[in-house]
Amino acid sequence: MKTIEPNRSPSEIAVSAHGALESPLITGNQTFHSVTEKIAGILERKTPKGWYVGFSLAVSLLMLLVGTVGYLVWEGTGIWGVNNPVGWGWAIVNFIWWVGIGHAGTLISAILFLLRQQWRTSINRFAEAMTLFAVICALLFPGIHVGRMWVIYYFFPIPNQMSMWPNFRSPLLWDFFAVGTYFTVSLLFWYTGLIPDLATMRDRAKSRMKKIVFGLLSLGWRGGNRQWQHYELSYLILAGLSTPLVLSVHSVVSTDFATSIIPGWHTTIFPPYFVAGAIFSGFAMVMTLALIARKIFGLEHFITLNHLEKMNKIMLVTGSMVGYAYIMEFFIAWYSGNEFESFAFINRAFGPYAWAYWTMFTCNVLLPQLFWFKKIRTSIPIMFTMTIFINIGMWFERFVITVTSLSRDFLPSSWDYYIPTIFDVFTFIGSFGLFFTLFLLFLRFLPMISMAEVKGVLPQADPHYGHDHASKKGGAA
Amino acid sequence: MSNLKIHGLLAEFADPHALINAAKAVRDAGYKTFDCHSPFPVHGMDQAMGMKRSSIGFIVAVFAFLGAVIGLGLQGWASTAAYPLVISGKPLFSWQAYIIITFALFVLFGAISAVLGMLRLNKLPRLHHPVFYSDRFKSASDDGFFVSIEASDTQFDAALTKTFLESIGGKNVEVLEGE
């Protein structure tokens, strides 16, 4: 049994639920007030110049997106590089990639919450924000790739003038429900987590405008335990509901492929393989953003090397799962004895798209193996570079799956090579504009780290703290 | 100034430990409509205040189940009655394929009811509350720990309750006065 020695500073000791000594989650001798000052202070200081630079860049890219989508509406999907047989090009690749990135937020909020991983508190808020914005970017692509987006309501299960109903057996409709539900639930989860912090912003607000806006957004939160009780249980239930949801979303996305009969798509490994890949790329994106935000806003005491190393371990695990899936796909292609299946995979690795396949393989499987070494796991420049490579690799994974399988299907006479056009590139780059515009607005106007939750994991938040002997008996255990 | 009404009393405490002890003392003294305010949920406070378990789980269970029924019902009705169309030779009511949307609506209804139910049970959103008459209360969302006792409590007596709050270690005991 470890006991807390009152003469040691709070940050020197952090005793986990199991009583084992761990390196502290939050460093720098934080008090409740210093946490508020640090995180809320970021929003109250003058906007840094770097923010304006980043925001202008992001909005410029957003304009590029708006322009390209406008042209797409005017001209039709012919402006893209899609051809026959490759009817699914970058739009679908980007959709899956963005949805995948959007997995980390809810995974961190929900699964790590249920597993009582307290280190999530420093990163969950902006990981959830990232999820929302990534899912918005993702939802853009199925919206525009239909070509005639003014009749996209055919897709929704609503009564229409033709008395038609969508086909509920179609994975594309499952997708609509899965991603739509995922977005809504992530938004609710994020907002629920924000309420106590919005109350903090309300109480600190100086200008009338801020008082009104934060006053309304915080819904009259008073931090009474009668409120916390319902709040905490509601949050726990949301986490419980989100956990199967987050695992189901990319599984459902994978059925878009897996229920078809195209060789290279028609495999049962797809759902778990897609989920592992989604978590992998999502963590990489959270990490990229976290490293930048940590540096710019000086959050080294909140997002410590300890947090970063834990995230790297998750990337190592999920990266290895993805690698296992790549190899297993090959094995099954050979073991099945199906010549179309075998051909599809040999073509992937050694055919015209071999460059894409090996880019994917290097970025996703080989490079993350370096995370076995603690030196590399704890080096910030290396992990930053690694996260970029992982996201490139994961984009190529989706490209390889979508394009290589379609470009060489059953009949050699219908084979064709797919080359994206400049508008494909513009739309993809433009989607970063949308993502970063939203993300930078979030960083500027909402607390990027959950103050209430960080305070809750400080050692002095424990009612036993410093009163260890007094409260042994009849204490509030 | 004459139409000011006393809504309750507010006392400040030093840390989570003091707040828990105060909660027990207030509960043992027989007060019912009181609350303990803290910037984060304090572990063990529910027992200290003598509160029952939150009923939100039942609300969510009902709505999540309703969501699943609506999900399966919508798909079954649309595919068999509203627009019966045989696709890929599958039966009209191919329930296996309907599970995913049923599940999605189960989660969707459950999550919405978890948030709305939480707000309903907390009687939120509301624009004002007597505790906000206190300027000191601003720190309840920063680093302050408070106990508030409402005037509607049957045991409430402005003078006696104030002495009581001071006797259990409450600092800066304030009368919440307003229109």
pLDDT (tens digit per residue) in A291-307: 998 888 888 888 999 88
Whether A463 and B126 lie within 8 Å, measured CB to CB: no
Distance CA A425, CA A80 (A): 9
pLDDT of residue A2: 43
B60 and B113 together in one domain: yes
Q: How many domains does chain B have?
A: 2
**pLDDT tens track for B75-126:** 999 999 999 999 889 899 999 999 999 999 999 999 999 999 999 999 989 8
Low-confidence ranges of chain A (pLDDT < 70): 1-23, 468-477
The range of the structural domain enclosing residue B111 comes to 56-121
pLDDT of residue A107: 83
pLDDT of residue A274: 93
pLDDT of residue A468: 58
Interface probe with A: pick from B115, B121, B145, most Cβ of A within 10 Å: B115
Confidence category of residue B2, pLDDT binned at 50, 70, 90: low
B48 and B134 together in one domain: yes
Boundary (domain end) residue, out of B98, B121, B144: B121
Phi, psi dihedral angles at A366 (to 5 degrees): -75, -55
- Of the partner residues A157, A219, A222, the one whose CB lies closest to the CB of residue B78: A157
- The answer to whether A92 and A144 are in contact (CB under 8 A) is no
**Three-state SS for A191?**
helix
> Does an H or E element contain B35, and which?
strand B34-37
Record the tokens describing residue B76, joined without a space. 């079954």
B145 and B117 together in one domain: no
Record the tokens describing residue A289, joined without a space. 């953003």
Whether A33 and B46 lie within 8 Å, measured CB to CB: no
Whether A36 and B78 lie within 8 Å, measured CB to CB: no
List the single residue in B with minimal CA-CA distance to A238.
B111
Q: How many Cβ pairs closer than 8 A exist between chain A and B?
A: 219
B138 and B153 together in one domain: yes
- The answer to whether B111 and A109 are in contact (CB under 8 A) is no
- How many helices and strands in chain A, by DSSP H and E? 18, 0
pLDDT of residue A185: 94
B21 and B77 together in one domain: no
Burial of B26 (0-12, 13-18, 19+ CB in 10 A): buried
Distance CA B20, CA A476 (A): 7
Q: Tokens 């912003």 map to which residue?
A: A201
Q: Which residues on adjacent β-strands are paired with residue B150?
A: B8
b/e map of B157-167 (b: 16 or more CB within 10 Å)? eeeebbebbee
> Does an H or E element contain A383, and which?
helix A380-399
Interface predicted TM-score (ipTM) of this complex, two decimals? 0.94
- The answer to whether A26 and A457 are in contact (CB under 8 A) is yes
pLDDT of residue B99: 95
- Of the partner residues A36, A177, A475, the one whose CB lies closest to the CB of residue B101: A177
Query: Nearest C-alpha of chain B: how many angstroms from A196?
Result: 7
- The answer to whether A105 and A128 are in contact (CB under 8 A) is yes
In the CATH hierarchy, which fold is given to the domain comprising A50-461?
Formate dehydrogenase/DMSO reductase fold (1.20.1630)
B36 and B83 together in one domain: no
Q: What is the pTM of this model?
A: 0.91
Residues of A in contact with B41 (CB under 8 A): 225, 228-229, 231-232, 456
| Any B CB within 8 A of A209 CB | no
**pLDDT tens track for B12-36:** 999 999 999 999 999 999 999 999 9
Q: Tokens 């980007």 map to which residue?
A: A94
A352: left (phi over 0), alpha (psi -120 to 50) or beta: alpha
For residue B135, the tally of other CB atoms under 10 A from its CB is 8
B71 and B111 together in one domain: yes
B60 and B112 together in one domain: yes
What CATH number corresponds to the domain at position B173?
Answer: 3.30.70
Per this entry, what is the length of chain B?
179
